Structures are given as C-alpha cells and as structure tokens.
Structure 1
Amino acid sequence: MNQVIQLLKSHRSIRKFTDETIPEAWIEDVIKAGQAASTSSFLQTYSVISITDSDRKAQLAELTSNPYVATCSHFLVFCANVERLALAGEMHQTPFQGNNLELFLMASLDTALMAQNVMVAAESLGLGGVYIGGIRNQIAQVSELLQLPQFIYPVFGMCLGYPDHEPELKPRLPLAAVYHKERYQLTPSEEQELLAQYDKVVQAYYTKRTGGKRTDTWTESVMGYVKKPSRTHLREYLEKQGFRFD
C-alpha cells in the first residue's frame, strides 16, 4: 500500500483541537492543493472563506450548532460560486443564462471535490478536520455574516486544526455494498442482508466507543435523515441568491 492510499484510508473526523494556530502559509498551500482538483469544464466554480477571528467563529458556531467551530484554528467555508461566470459574461457582453439546475449541481460538485483535496492535503501535514454541514442550518444568516453576493452559496464548512484526540476509525459499508462490476448487481434483499451484517459492525463500534451509552445500528441511525424532510428552507434561500431549478 502506498502512502497516499494509506493516508486516505486513515481519515477520521477530528472535533477536538489544541490551541496551536496553523501557519497561514500552510492554509494557502492546502487551498492551492484544493484548486488542483478536477473541475467540470474548467469552470472552477468555488470560493473559500477562511475564518480565524474568535468572535466571528463564535457566531458561526452558534449558527451551525457546532461548538468546535469556535475552537479550531481555521474555519473554512466552502462556497459554490457562479457569480464569476456572470461577471465573465459581462466582460464579453454575453447574457448570463447559467443559473439553472445543471450549473447548480456542477458548482456544488466542484466545491466538494476541491474541499476533499484540501482535507487530504491538511491531513498530510498532520492536521485534522471535520466537515460542517450545519452551515446550511441558518444559511441566510451565514450568508449575511459573510456578505455573500448573488449566485454564491455556502455548501459546507470545515474545521481545521491540530488534533487533540485520536478517535477510532469509523467502519465503512462493506465493499460489496458499494462496488459493482459492469452493472448494478444487488437485489434489494441482497443489499438488506449486507446492511444487516454492517449493522452488527456499527453497533459494536458505537458500543465500544461510548462505553455502552450508544448502541444503535447504522440503519437505525440513518432513519433520522429519511423519515422527514431536512432543511426545507434551502430552496427559497437559493432562489433569492439567484439560482433557478426549472
């Protein structure tokens, strides 16, 4: 196994950080590594906002309901940005007609690819981090705080810092559940059997990690995400930011 694969397979979400501050040169370097990620049609539809001010981090910690946002060295907000394309259109007297579902998906995916490069680059330097989807909990307030213009929206945040704990690796789904050859190969009953096996692994993991305080399975834990709609305010917010989905 080479070092890159070993690093990728050793990823853990880090939520506790020391008080040490990451050098700004390192942050700039991992952002450059992020820019090296694949980008659809060379559009590069992303922007990153780095937050180090303690008061601003505290505000974002409250808005995201994540206290560790306030304790990390750098809190990065990854934004999908198609405003840049609209501005390019103005430079060439071309009307901007890209505020559609396809471009929204492209920008969101570009941002995720870029962010994952940043995370891996940071981990290669001995840093740790965790993604913060809670940036979308109160997305309008976050946008106002960060002064985001039209055609830009925050996709997620990322805490980065020096790790102050060493959590165990969280077990992933078995390879047979996610990897197929030539066609999708699992019947619903076969996939449920794999999930039942995985449930036992995850239950053992949670039981050990929490000393028996948490004993739910994977399928039980995901019910919170599928039994009711989540963040239903997003469409209205995105439309106010100029995105269209027709």
Structure 2
Amino acid sequence: MNPTIDLLRNHRSIRKYKEAALPEAHTEAIISSAQMASTSSNVQAYSIIGVTDSALKKELAQLAGNQAYVEQCGLFLVFCADLHKLKGATEQHGQTFHHNTESFIVATVDAALAAQNAAVAAESLGYGICYIGGIRNKPQEVCEALSLPELVYPVFGMCVGVPDQEPSYRPRLPMQAVYHQNAYNAEQVAQGIQQYDDTMYKYYQERTNGQTLTTWSKGIADKYAKPGRAHIMPFLKARGYRFE
C-alpha cells in the first residue's frame, strides 16, 4: 500500500542479535523519533535510558528473567514513566506538585507512545526490536541499577539491534475482534476469538512440528488464572506514586 504501512505490517519480535553496536547517528535518529510521539498536553512525562554497557546489559538481562537477547542486542532502551521531572518543574515555580492515578496513567501512556515511535524508527533503519516486559519482574533492582529517582519507574525495556534470525509471522486476532464501529460488539469478539483459536492451533502445530497443540484462548486462560506480578502496586507506592 505504502512503505510505512508495509513496515508496520511486517513487524516481528527479534530475539537473537548480532554483536554490533548502533552508530551514534542511528541512536539519535531513534530517540528523536521517539520524542516526536504524541504526548498528553505536551507534558512529555517519560524518560529513556539507553544501555550499551555490557555489564549493565547482563545485569538487566538477569533481572528480566535471564533473557539473553537483552545482553546480545546493540542497544537496550528502558522506557520510564517520569513524574519526577514534572515535580521539579512545578516546584521551580514555587508551587506544590499534585499527582494522582490520572497522572500515573498519563506518564505510562506517554512512555508507551514514545516507545512505539522508537520501534518503528529502528525497524525503518533495518534493526530488529523486542519489547521486554520482564523488566518489571524485579523493578526495584532495575531502579537501583539505573539510578532512577523517586516518581520514575521502568515501564518496559526494548532490545534494538542487528537481527540474527528471521522469525515467522505470528498471526493476530481477526479485525472483528479488535475494531468496532460505533459500539462494542461482544458477539463479534467471541466469533473472532473462535476463528483465531483455529488459526493459532494450526500455527503452533506447524511451528513446533506437532509438539505444541493449544489455542490462543487456552494460553490466555492459563496466564490469567493466576495473579501476575503482585509486587507492582507496593513497588509503585514506594516510588512515590499516588492512586486516588
């Protein structure tokens, strides 16, 4: 259709990288692209930590669940929700900084929007990327490793580097399970999930030579039948966030 849409539709998560650093010009292009993402009221409530130090990448890889590709990639980016800078700007003018759940959402969404811009920019330069939610496995240790101040928390990481694999395309939910016109349609979603289960059953079967016989909804059930990362709320409150 056009190069931008083709790029977006050809996204793959890359989990194996060649040992190659990114040229500074490419890093700057990726970060400056991230900065141009939409941001609520121009508050820009996020910060990005670029990690190139081998020892630090190794430490973060371990904290994220021993994900080797965090250590392999040429550049590891940690996207952080950042109310610390807003607090500083407010106090600079002699005013008291007030924040709540809405502020937390704004900062988290701002970080995510910037990250997706960075991902598209990186892929347009020929790099592979992979989001790393495992950075929240041990978030306090990540904060300490990166010297993050109060009111800053790591939302997720992102591997960026030269791909050393060509993974297959993973099908997505049919559009009817995602896009609704004028009103939410639960029946349409249920039908889409049933269709997607059939698609993913065949995908897993072919990808694993018959070793994995499951569906998308079964994977979701297994994941959400038990609590995940229950430590996050106490961690966020300890970082100074207020939920009210």
Q: TM-score, normalised by structure 1?
A: 0.96
The Cα shift of 1:77 comes to: 0.4
Does the 8 Å contact 2:39/2:110 carry over to 1? yes
> 1:131 maps to which residue?
131
The Cα shift of 1:191 comes to: 2.9
The Cα shift of 1:28 comes to: 1.2
Give, in whole Å, the separation in 2 of the partners of 1:70 and 1:197: 38
- Residue by residue over 1:151-198, the C-alpha shift from the partner in whole angstroms, topping out at 9 and shown as x without a partner, is 1000000001001111111100001111111111233xx433321211
Give, in whole Å, the separation in 1 of the partners of 2:107 and 2:185: 31
Matched, 1:28 2:28: yes
Question: Aligned partner of 1:95: which letter?
Answer: T
- SS of residue paired to 1:70: helix
The Cα shift of 1:226 comes to: 1.2
- SS of residue paired to 1:47: strand
> 2:119 maps to which residue?
119
The Cα shift of 1:216 comes to: 1.4
Give, in whole Å, the separation in 2 of the partners of 1:237 and 1:186: 35
Give, in whole Å, the separation in 2 of the partners of 1:102 and 1:153: 16
Does the 8 Å contact 2:75/2:160 carry over to 1? yes
> 1:155 maps to which residue?
155
Matched, 1:204 2:202: yes
The Cα shift of 1:224 comes to: 2.9
Which runs of 5 or more structure 1 residues have no equivalent in the other structure?
none
Alpha-carbon RMSD across the aligned residues, in angstroms, is: 1.0
Question: Aligned partner of 2:78: which letter?
Answer: V
The Cα shift of 1:90 comes to: 1.3
Question: Aligned partner of 2:109: which letter?
Answer: L
Does the 8 Å contact 2:51/2:57 carry over to 1? yes
Aligned residues between the structures: 243
- Residue by residue over 1:16-38, the C-alpha shift from the partner in whole angstroms, topping out at 9 and shown as x without a partner, is 11112211220111110001000
- Residue by residue over 1:192-237, the C-alpha shift from the partner in whole angstroms, topping out at 9 and shown as x without a partner, is 3321211111111112222222221100111232111111111111
Matched, 1:231 2:229: yes
Give, in whole Å, the separation in 2 of the partners of 1:90 and 1:198: 51
- SS of residue paired to 2:72: coil
> 2:80 maps to which residue?
79
Aligned positions of 1:45-64 closer than 5 A: 45-64=45-64
> 1:193 maps to which residue?
191
> 2:71 maps to which residue?
70
- SS of residue paired to 1:37: coil
Aligned identity (percent) is: 48
> 1:242 maps to which residue?
240
Give, in whole Å, the separation in 1 of the partners of 2:189 and 2:122: 35
Give, in whole Å, the separation in 2 of the partners of 1:212 and 1:49: 41
- SS of residue paired to 1:216: coil
Question: Aligned partner of 1:135: which letter?
Answer: I
Give, in whole Å, the separation in 2 of the partners of 1:222 and 1:208: 20
- Residue by residue over 1:78-102, the C-alpha shift from the partner in whole angstroms, topping out at 9 and shown as x without a partner, is 000011111011110010012x100
Deviates more, 1:192-201 or 1:28-37: 192-201
Give, in whole Å, the separation in 1 of the partners of 2:27 and 2:152: 22
- SS of residue paired to 2:176: helix
Question: Aligned partner of 2:207: which letter?
Answer: R
Does the 8 Å contact 2:131/2:156 carry over to 1? yes
Question: Aligned partner of 2:49: which letter?
Answer: I
